[in-house]
């Protein structure tokens, strides 16, 4: 081998890129249709990538070519940068929930688009936008309508979990088509928080973080069914700060979707509990905003991390997820 090849190989091994292509993403989720994996993530119009093996990725056309008109009307200044999509297959269609928000404020909405297929070469391929599903308002709702995730109970009842900062993560039962809440949004429960009680005031923000968001640093809920338990994953501390990112993943579990979700020590996530699944190390400043998926009998965690070898740039990470003897998730080492 020549010297250049050896140097490149050493660099790939050192950075971990050899195990999978480290594309730059935030908030990734993955769905497989036929033999192709489709990744959706934060980006202009919702970024989309495809892959035959979850290792080599090809960029596809964004979901939206221009910002939805309803979103521009709901969130002043919104231009089309859409956050934290969530992809599910429900009632014969692909459901793509997404977040529209002003940064650091709960001037936010969750929208929904559906499609018969994820294959852009299929003649039936067409994203149909259903518009606003949930909206939060500064000074009116002590929660933030972003980071949606759909989970369907064994009896077919759909639920949407969502939220970021403020009082914490929320859960709402949806109508049978999962297009609108079936409950009063003023009474929906908080299922995860860093506060000891919802009766406590929101803690103040720290450092240079947005004042309106406060300091209840929890977001990105994702509920995954395994055996008799529903596992609630969430991310705590701070994303989006490059080399100063401190993101970590936590988990709790419940035998029912409404909860309560308890950690390994029996503490409720609603009152500050949460067992750490993954946190940063010398290679990654922080890791978080995960999805959990099963393909061919293997469970995976799909998330982003802030690369310590690339100035804290956000990168895609996919790790296998095993389970200990007591049924708690164990992620492959970073």
Please list the active-site residues.
27, 219
Per-residue tokens: 78: 């919104």
Instruction: Return the H-helix or E-strand segment holding 58.
Output: strand 58-60
Pairwise CA distance, residues 230 & 255, whole Å = 6
Give which of 222, 254, 217, 260 is closest to 239, Cα–Cα: 217
Separation of alpha carbons 169 and 218, rounded Å: 7
Rounded to whole angstroms, how far apart are CA atoms 273 and 193?
8
Element (H, E) at 13: helix 3-15
Cα distances (angstroms) measured from residue 54 to each of 19, 203, 290: 10, 39, 15
Among residues 217, 226, 236, the alpha carbon closest in space to that of 279 is found at 236
Quote the distance between the C-alpha of residue 261 and its chain's center: 18
Q: Where are the beta strands (DSSP E) in 1-51?
A: 29-33, 36-41, 43-44, 47-51
């Amino acid at each position: 081998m020549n010297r250049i090849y050896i140097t490149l190989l050493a660099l790939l091994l050192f950075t971990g890129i050899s195990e999978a292509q480290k594309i730059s993403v935030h908030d990734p989720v993955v769905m497989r249709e036929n033999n192709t994996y489709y990744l959706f993530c934060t980006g202009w119009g919702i970024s989309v990538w495809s892959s035959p093996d979850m290792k080599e990725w090809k960029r596809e056309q964004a979901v939206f070519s221009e910002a939805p008109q309803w979103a521009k009307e709901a969130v002043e200044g919104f231009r089309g940068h859409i956050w934290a999509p969530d992809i599910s297959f429900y009632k014969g269609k692909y459901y793509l929930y997404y977040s529209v928000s002003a940064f650091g404020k709960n001037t936010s909405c969750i929208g929904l688009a559906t499609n018969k297929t994820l294959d852009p070469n299929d003649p039936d391929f067409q994203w149909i936008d259903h518009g606003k599903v949930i909206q939060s308002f500064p000074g009116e709702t002590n929660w933030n309508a972003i980071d949606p995730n759909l989970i369907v109970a064994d009896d077919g009842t759909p639920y949407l979990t969502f939220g970021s900062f403020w009082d914490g993560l929320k859960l709402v039962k949806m109508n049978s088509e999962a297009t609108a809440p079936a409950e009063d949004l003023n009474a929906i429960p908080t299922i995860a928080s860093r506060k000891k009680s919802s009766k406590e005031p929101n803690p103040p923000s720290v450092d240079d973080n947005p004042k309106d968001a406060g300091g209840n640093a929890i977001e990105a809920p994702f509920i995954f069914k395994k055996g008799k338990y529903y596992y609630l994953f969430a991310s705590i501390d701070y994303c989006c700060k490059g080399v100063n990112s401190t993101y970590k993943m936590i988990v709790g579990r419940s035998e029912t979707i409404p909860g309560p979700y308890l950690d390994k020590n029996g503490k409720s996530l609603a009152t500050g509990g949460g067992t750490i699944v993954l946190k940063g190390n010398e290679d990654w400043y922080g890791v978080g905003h995960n999805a959990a998926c099963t393909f061919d009998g293997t469970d995976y965690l799909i998330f982003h991390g802030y690369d310590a070898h690339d100035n804290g740039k956000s990168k895609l990470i996919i790790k296998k997820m095993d389970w200990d003897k007591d049924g708690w998730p164990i992620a492959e080492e970073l």
